[in-house]
Amino acid sequence: MQNKLMSIQEAVTTYTWDGMTYCNGAALPVGSCSIAFGKEMVKQGRKDLNVICHCGSQQINLLAAVGAVKRIEVGFSGLEVYGFAAGLNRAVVSGKTLIEDYSNGAMALRFFGGAMNWPFVPATVCIHNDQQWCSADHPDEYPCTRKIPEVTDPFTGKKYGAFRTIRPDVAAIHVTMADIYGNAIMLGTEWNRFEMSRASDKVVLVADQIVHTDCMRQYPNLVRIISEVVDAVVYWPYAAWPQSSPGLYDSDEDHMFYMNKMMKTEADTKEFCDQWVNSWNSHEEYMALIGKEKIEKISQTGTAFLMDPYRKWLRTDANIRELQDRKKG
Amino acid sequence: MQNKLMSIQEAVTTYTWDGMTYCNGAALPVGSCSIAFGKEMVKQGRKDLNVICHCGSQQINLLAAVGAVKRIEVGFSGLEVYGFAAGLNRAVVSGKTLIEDYSNGAMALRFFGGAMNWPFVPATVCIHNDQQWCSADHPDEYPCTRKIPEVTDPFTGKKYGAFRTIRPDVAAIHVTMADIYGNAIMLGTEWNRFEMSRASDKVVLVADQIVHTDCMRQYPNLVRIISEVVDAVVYWPYAAWPQSSPGLYDSDEDHMFYMNKMMKTEADTKEFCDQWVNSWNSHEEYMALIGKEKIEKISQTGTAFLMDPYRKWLRTDANIRELQDRKKG
Amino acid sequence: MEYTKQEFMAVTTGREIKDSELIIFGVGLPMLAGYFAKLNHAPNLRAFTEGGIYGSTPVGGLPWGIECNRISTNATSFTNAIDALGFLVLSGRADNAVIGAAQVDKYGNVNTTGIWDEPPWKAGKYLAPRVRLNGSGGASDISVGCKHYLIMASHEKRRFMEKVDYISSAGYLDGGDRRERCGFVGGGPSAIISTLGILRPDPQTKEFYLDAYFPFTTIDKVKENTGWNLKVSQDVKIVPEPTAEELKNLRTVDTTGFLRKNG
Amino acid sequence: MEYTKQEFMAVTTGREIKDSELIIFGVGLPMLAGYFAKLNHAPNLRAFTEGGIYGSTPVGGLPWGIECNRISTNATSFTNAIDALGFLVLSGRADNAVIGAAQVDKYGNVNTTGIWDEPPWKAGKYLAPRVRLNGSGGASDISVGCKHYLIMASHEKRRFMEKVDYISSAGYLDGGDRRERCGFVGGGPSAIISTLGILRPDPQTKEFYLDAYFPFTTIDKVKENTGWNLKVSQDVKIVPEPTAEELKNLRTVDTTGFLRKNG
């Protein structure tokens, strides 16, 4: 098996490009999301992204705020109790970002259909409402019949809808822990990371922790993302910050509100990026920026016990660095 | 939450009936399958069953051998390296049991479609071959166009097939461990137990072990079958015998061959039933029949370490009996 | 005992939830109303969230989201979106749900997607909205799948409309048997719980009428704040005030006082 | 060094497997051939089974089935059938596979379902078979999904047929571009490894011809044992005998001597 550890810079350089179809797994508005990866994409100046996700998150909020998102297909674009996604909404209202709405269930099924390589997925939702009739890709047609066209059930002759399936170029998937080969365990809801990992052409894992493969052999039923489909593993503790990662840390309430507030204007977004995105390169710098006190606070999570069974297999930073260096040769 | 513990007799009496559509999860030819439950069905004389499973197993082999299976939809009907399923094949060749063939992948997707309550599932397999052209339900039509009819992809106009979805009356699902409310953990491949548990109208778990719910709260990502969809929990150690249960016991090689050999004729089947099916009522009698030596042998499995994390939450027989009695009131 | 209007609304919504229902909650007010019901009178409620979080109750305050750690600390199962929204909701299996609405119309259609100067159905085209909201999330799935569901909304004229700008979650569409003809497996919204009262659909026309109002308002005020000509039930009721027991249970769920802060 | 014909066949099949392929094995001979390849020359083979067992190698002898504990003791992941047969096989993602056949025809169509006195395609109806086999299992999924795949079969006239009784797993159907016109995502069978030699499909007609034969037989004997007029490659080869290294590796995989017992 191949050691797939890779720096976040190299992963973004290798697996992202302008105009790509990008999935930010898990794409949870409050929970696990590969946010650090998105920040690195901002740093490397990616643009014209075609983003597909069931939910928005601070990653998409940021990418849209800096003008990198040309088009997005989404089920829910907000930040739940943290409010509307100010950066994304600014981009949508200004016409900078085209938005194609679906339901969350529809997005999950479209990933399933992509993983199956199906021509279409039967649609029993997003039909007979404006999710069917309104298409950002065909704004002059109302009601639009091309976004979710009709399909006839050959058994009954009844009409249903048909969803387009999703086959992203790359998914950057946040996981709780991975081994160096790309086997991964997620704690908390999967959302559609399982299906996404199979639907995507390339898969980059962004892992809060790296564990020995023995951990996978003890808990094979927990390993829902498999090395067989993974291209790169980025080790990045607190990768979902300011969002949460069950078992490891809670969302950073102050920063969630603050970040969203800063996305409201172009000027504030720039200021935010200067301070929080472009100011770090190493993981040490990233951690210093968040600050020791904050790290301690969010790490006091009520879900910490969920990590207990796996702690003995955690690799140390020094060991991971060594493995990363060995790979470079 | 409701204590759903139930004796195997009561579960079969309550949740099975003549003519029902029955699923024997996991339906693995060698591994986990709710075989003890099927034996109890034989004891209670169930007949005219419409069985739906991706694979055969000794349970289906037995049910067909005694003439209880009117019709079966299946992907693979054999016992793998243990050979063809003699009892089922005898019933098929004689015309007693109608058999409708699909692929294993198709069966899994049809359960998925049933769980979704979809009108049909897109079929990219079992088309342009005899799985499409031959239908036991329409034997006079060749090539049959009604079993897997054509559906047109509205995006491209290309033709695909459409599978009927599966919505069984009852699934008796073998699991490694369950709590008394019906939350369950499976070790080893799920096959399609996850989808089956959602597609079925009623779900009976047949569990090798009962654990405290604290075990589920420590490993919620392992709990793929949820109390919300489960109707009854039957505690029955070695429920899959003579097949295997990962983490707990290996298949009983001698008995696998012996049982299959006995299914070859009606007379031998009767003899087998007298000795191995109708001769026990309590679990103690069932265990005595298998024999201490055999139990010890098959329990020496190389997969035993997979159970280690959960042992501390196992409920004792005495405790389970108490809970069962308490429920009866 | 004193309480806020939001607390009254949550209790009123909770009362619509019956024991043993299989029910899905969105985040915020709906979740508080739901877990209040579980604590108060529905101990066997089988509640879950969109991501497939089962068996849990919030710990440490209102969850920030449906996948917040506050709802993940005592779960018995974590699965995924296809399970929760597909197998349990779109399939028609779930009994009930509580969703929110930025706009709702006389047939219970909900808009949570955007506000337009000229909405798509009027303009005949789909342009960028004046205000972007969140999209439907799982509410659209709930609207077609659940046996029935409850809508919570702030009762203001600009929100209670003759016709919403955009149907994110289908209610009864144009009313009558229109929804039935669409073949949705779910039955549609059973009530709108607003900041002023309870609206229910007419069994025939499916137009929502006033079934009960809160004691702090009047029928006229409710009508004034409604964007269509609101019909009133012949035996319109006044919603009973929260009991001390109900308030105690609600506040046990609303640990951090979300409903008290927001009036 | 002595070896059985079954061992020779397994080694020959294994040689068709390239390193790093994503490959699915059925149970029995195909699995032994596959894990032999992994040990012998394809250390990065990404092998899995139908039920979604990943990262494992058999322990304690030939697994009795694809979900046997012998293949479950050192897995890195257990998922499910939709994952293995759907996401990885039907999707077109898997590179290769090894399947068995009770009957195979000149276009590589495989029958593992049943034997009829008068097959359905001839009778114009589908009656109970004279002999029931196992059905396709995952082989039908493999036949439409994998980029290509290998067929292993016993080379006898009654098994190598002009036309099989029942197509369980589609090869090239009627030959030519017929398979292509069906729109299957996978490319079809790349070779039939029989007990007598290696057959490969003609690039145009898709009819299988003899590409190589085992040193213990002759071209004539192969033709005699084939139910159609078998064409022979102009540069037909003799399959190289297993090396000592290959045999050593095969026997490491075949711990319990399955291939030695069965001649």
C101 CA: distance to closest CA in chain B (Å): 26
pLDDT digits (tens, 9 = 90+) for A213-249: 999 999 999 999 999 999 999 999 999 999 999 999 9
- Residue A263: name the closest of A41, A88, A11 by CA: A88
Strand order in the sheet with B121-123: B121-123, B159-163, B150-152
Banded model confidence at residue A108, pLDDT cuts 50, 70, 90: very high
Contact C144, C89 (CB under 8 A): no
Strand-pair category, C22-25 with C96-100: parallel
Domain boundary assignment for chain A: 8-101+167-324, 120-164
Interface touch A120/B305, C-beta < 8 Å: no
- Angle of helix B35-43 versus helix B58-65 axis, rounded to 10: 10
The torsion angles phi and psi of C107, rounded to 5 degrees, stand at -105, 15
Instruction: With 0.95 as the threshold, say if the pTM is over it.
Output: yes
Which active-site residues of D does the annotation give?
A: 50
Structure tokens at D241: 């005998």
> Residues 67 to 86 of A: which have CB under 8 A from any C CB?
74-82, 84-85
Q: What is the pLDDT of residue C145?
A: 98
Structure tokens at D112: 């593992």
Using a CB-CB cut-off of 8 Å, the residues of chain B touching D69 are 31, 244, 246, 250-251, 301-303
Interface touch B130/D86, C-beta < 8 Å: no
Separation in Å, CA C183 to CA B164, C82, C178? 18, 21, 9
CA angle A182, A299, A43 (to 5 degrees): 60
Q: How far apart are CA D57 and CA D47, in angstroms?
A: 9
Q: What is the pLDDT of residue A192?
A: 96
- Residue C142 DSSP code: H
Q: What is the pLDDT of residue B124?
A: 98
Banded model confidence at residue D257, pLDDT cuts 50, 70, 90: confident
Interface touch A223/D44, C-beta < 8 Å: no
Helix, strand, coil shares of chain C as percentages rounded to 5? 25, 20, 50
- Angle of helix A283-290 versus helix A292-299 axis, rounded to 10: 80
Banded model confidence at residue C262, pLDDT cuts 50, 70, 90: low
pLDDT digits (tens, 9 = 90+) for C243-255: 999 999 999 999 8
Q: What is the dihedral of CA A187, A190, A194, A197, to 10 degrees?
A: -80
Which chains have 3 or more CB–CB distances shorter than 8 Å to chain B? A, C, D
Banded model confidence at residue D261, pLDDT cuts 50, 70, 90: confident
Structure tokens at D136: 């396709």
Interface touch D69/B108, C-beta < 8 Å: no
**Mean pLDDT across the stretch C177-190?**
97
Is the pLDDT reported for residue C204 higher than 70?
Answer: yes
Q: How far apart are CA B217 and CA D90, in angstroms?
A: 35
Interface touch B116/C22, C-beta < 8 Å: no
- Residue D43 DSSP code: T
Contact A57, A82 (CB under 8 A): no
**Mean pLDDT across the stretch C87-103?**
97
**Mean pLDDT across the stretch D238-255?**
95
Contact C2, C260 (CB under 8 A): no
Q: Which of A2, A3, A117, A180 to mutate to test the interface with D (most CBs of D within 10 A)?
A: A117
Percent of chain C with pLDDT over 90: 89
**Mean pLDDT across the stretch B208-237?**
98
Q: What is the dihedral of CA A35, A39, A42, A46, to 10 degrees?
A: -50
Contacts of A304 by beta carbon, 8 Å cutoff, 6+ apart: A247, A248
Q: Please count the other Cβ atoms lying within 10 Å of the Cβ belonging to residue C187.
A: 14
Percent of chain D with pLDDT over 70: 99
Place of tokens 């299988």: D208
Q: How far apart are CA D37 and CA B297, in angstroms?
A: 32
Helices (H), chain A: 8-15, 35-43, 58-65, 86-93, 104-116, 130-133, 193-199, 213-218, 253-262, 266-276, 283-290, 292-299, 317-328
Interface touch B105/D85, C-beta < 8 Å: yes
Using a CB-CB cut-off of 8 Å, the residues of chain A touching D86 are 115-116
Instruction: Find, in chain B, the residue whose alpha carbon is nearest to that of C20.
Output: B1
**Mean pLDDT across the stretch B201-212?**
98
Interface touch D82/B192, C-beta < 8 Å: yes
Contact C48, C24 (CB under 8 A): yes
Positive/negative CA dihedral, B51, B57, B59, B65: positive
Banded model confidence at residue B329, pLDDT cuts 50, 70, 90: low
The torsion angles phi and psi of B249, rounded to 5 degrees, stand at -160, 155
Q: What is the pLDDT of residue D38?
A: 95
**Mean pLDDT across the stretch D237-257?**
94
Which chains have 3 or more CB–CB distances shorter than 8 Å to chain D? A, B
Instruction: Identify the weakest region by mean pLDDT among C237-241, C251-255, D244-248.
Output: C251-255
Banded model confidence at residue C260, pLDDT cuts 50, 70, 90: confident
Q: How far apart are CA D255 and CA D258, in angstroms?
A: 8
Percent of chain D with pLDDT over 90: 89
> Residues 268 to 297 of B: which have CB under 8 A from any D CB?
none
Q: Work out the mean pLDDT of chain D and round it to a whole number.
A: 95
Q: Which of B179, B198, B213 sits opposite C87 (nearest CB)?
A: B198
User: Measured between CB atoms, does B287 come within 8 Å of chain A?
Assistant: no
Q: What is the pLDDT of residue B173?
A: 98
B288 CA: distance to closest CA in chain C (Å): 35
Using a CB-CB cut-off of 8 Å, the residues of chain B touching A120 are 122, 153-155
Using a CB-CB cut-off of 8 Å, the residues of chain B touching A119 are 122, 153, 155-156, 158, 160
D73 CA: distance to closest CA in chain A (Å): 8
User: Measured between CB atoms, does A183 come within 8 Å of chain D?
Assistant: yes
User: Measured between CB atoms, does A163 come within 8 Å of chain C?
Assistant: no
Q: Work out the mean pLDDT of chain B and round it to a whole number.
A: 97
Q: How far apart are CA A275 and CA C155, in angstroms?
A: 42
User: Measured between CB atoms, does B213 come within 8 Å of chain C?
Assistant: yes
pLDDT digits (tens, 9 = 90+) for A26-45: 999 999 999 999 999 999 99
Helices (H), chain D: 5-15, 29-40, 81, 120-123, 139-145, 178-182, 219-224, 244-253, 258-261
Banded model confidence at residue B48, pLDDT cuts 50, 70, 90: very high
Separation in Å, CA D130 to CA A258, B69, C225, D143? 75, 19, 77, 25
Banded model confidence at residue D262, pLDDT cuts 50, 70, 90: low
| Region label for D92, one of left (φ > 0), alpha (ψ between -120 and 50) or beta (otherwise) | left
- Residue D169: name the closest of D192, D139, D189, D195 by CA: D139
Mark whether C and A touch (3+ CB pairs within 8 Å). yes
Cis peptide before C240 (omega within 30 of 0): no
Contact C44, B1 (CB under 8 A): yes
Q: How far apart are CA C92 and CA B223, in angstroms?
A: 22
What 3-state DSSP class applies to C68?
A: coil
Instruction: Find, in chain A, the residue whose alpha carbon is nearest to that of C138.
Output: A104
Interface touch C128/A195, C-beta < 8 Å: no
Is the pLDDT reported for residue B169 higher than 80?
Answer: yes
- Residue B22 DSSP code: E
Which one of 3.40.1080.10, 3.90.1150.10, 1.10.10.10, 3.40.50.2300 gives the CATH number of domain C5-261? 3.40.1080.10
Q: Please name every residue paired with A67 in a beta bridge, in sequence order, or none if there are none.
A: none
Is the pLDDT reported for residue B167 higher than 80?
Answer: yes
B175 CA: distance to closest CA in chain A (Å): 13
- Residue A263: name the closest of A274, A273, A250, A252 by CA: A273
Could you tell me the maximum CA-CA distance found in chain B, to the nearest angstrom? 63
Instruction: Find, in chain B, the residue whose alpha carbon is nearest to that of A188.
Output: B221
Structure tokens at A273: 């990026």
Contacts of C2 by beta carbon, 8 Å cutoff, 6+ apart: none
Name the amino acid, one letter, at C35: Y
- Tell me the CB-side half-sphere exposure of residue D148, using CA atoms within 13 A: 11
Q: Please name every residue paired with A318 in a beta bridge, in sequence order, or none if there are none.
A: none
Strand-pair category, A170-178 with A184-185: antiparallel
Contact A301, A295 (CB under 8 A): no
pLDDT digits (tens, 9 = 90+) for A141-191: 999 999 999 999 999 999 999 999 999 999 999 999 999 999 999 999 999
Structure tokens at D196: 């007598």
Contacts of C256 by beta carbon, 8 Å cutoff, 6+ apart: C60, C61, C62
User: Measured between CB atoms, does A291 come within 8 Å of chain B?
Assistant: no
Using a CB-CB cut-off of 8 Å, the residues of chain B touching D135 are 74-78, 99, 101-102
CB-defined contacts A:C, below 8 A:
227
Interface touch C64/A251, C-beta < 8 Å: yes
Strand-pair category, C46-49 with C22-25: parallel
**Chain D residues with CB within 8 Å of chain A CB:** 22, 44, 46, 48, 54-55, 72, 74-79, 83, 86-88, 90-93, 185
**Mean pLDDT across the stretch C56-60?**
89
Banded model confidence at residue D61, pLDDT cuts 50, 70, 90: confident
User: Measured between CB atoms, does A115 come within 8 Å of chain D?
Assistant: yes
Contacts of D203 by beta carbon, 8 Å cutoff, 6+ apart: none
Interface touch D67/B140, C-beta < 8 Å: no
Classify domain B8-101+167-324 at the CATH topology level. Answer: Glutaconate Coenzyme A-transferase (3.40.1080)
User: Measured between CB atoms, does A53 come within 8 Å of chain C?
Assistant: no
Instruction: Find, in chain A, the residue whose alpha carbon is nearest to that of C111.
Output: A130
Counting beta carbons within 10 angstroms of the beta carbon of residue A264, is it exposed (0 to 12), middle (13 to 18) or buried (19 or more)?
middle
User: Measured between CB atoms, does B25 come within 8 Å of chain D?
Assistant: no
Q: What is the pLDDT of residue C116?
A: 98
CB-defined contacts A:D, below 8 A:
66
Contact A187, A246 (CB under 8 A): yes
Contact D170, D143 (CB under 8 A): yes
- Residue B215: name the closest of B255, B160, B175 by CA: B175
Q: What is the pLDDT of residue C26?
A: 85
Contact B206, B36 (CB under 8 A): yes
Percent of chain B with pLDDT over 70: 100
C161 CA: distance to closest CA in chain B (Å): 33
How far does chain D reach from its first CA to its final CA, in angstroms? Answer: 15
Structure tokens at D118: 């008068």
Interface touch C76/B226, C-beta < 8 Å: yes
Mark whether D and B touch (3+ CB pairs within 8 Å). yes
**Mean pLDDT across the stretch D182-201?**
97
Q: How far apart are CA A152 and CA A136, in angstroms?
A: 25
Strand-pair category, D22-25 with D46-48: parallel
Separation in Å, CA B267 to CA B87, B91, B256, B261? 12, 14, 18, 12
User: DSSP string of D77-133?
Assistant: EE--HIIIIIIIIITS---EEEEE-SEEETT--EE-SEE-SS-HHHHSS----SEE-
Q: What is the pLDDT of residue D84?
A: 98
